[in-house]
Amino acid sequence: MMVSAAPLLLVIAAIVGLAATGNLFSSSPLVIAAQVAAVGLSVWARRSFQQGAFRVSAAPGGTAVIRRGPYRFVRHPMYSAVLLFVWAGILSHQSVLTLASGVAVTAVVIARVRAEEQLLRSKYSDYAEYARSTKAVVPYVL
What pLDDT digit, counting tens, does each position of 4-13 carry? 677 888 899 9
Model pLDDT for residues 46-75, shown as the tens digit of each residue = 999 876 556 555 556 667 888 999 999 999
Q: Which of 17-21, 52-56, 75-79 has the lowest mean pLDDT?
A: 52-56
Domain ranges of the chain: 26-133
Count the Cβ atoms, other than its own, within 10 Å of residue 1: 10
Give me the mean pLDDT over the 114-127 stretch: 91
Taken in order 101, 104, 110, 116, the sign of the CA dihedral is negative
pLDDT bucket at 104, cuts 50 / 70 / 90: very high
- Residue 140: is its pLDDT beyond 90? no
- CA distance readout (Å), 30 to 53, 61, 88: 34, 36, 8
pLDDT exceeds 50 at position 1: no
Average pLDDT over residues 8-19: 91
- pLDDT, mean of residues 24-46: 96
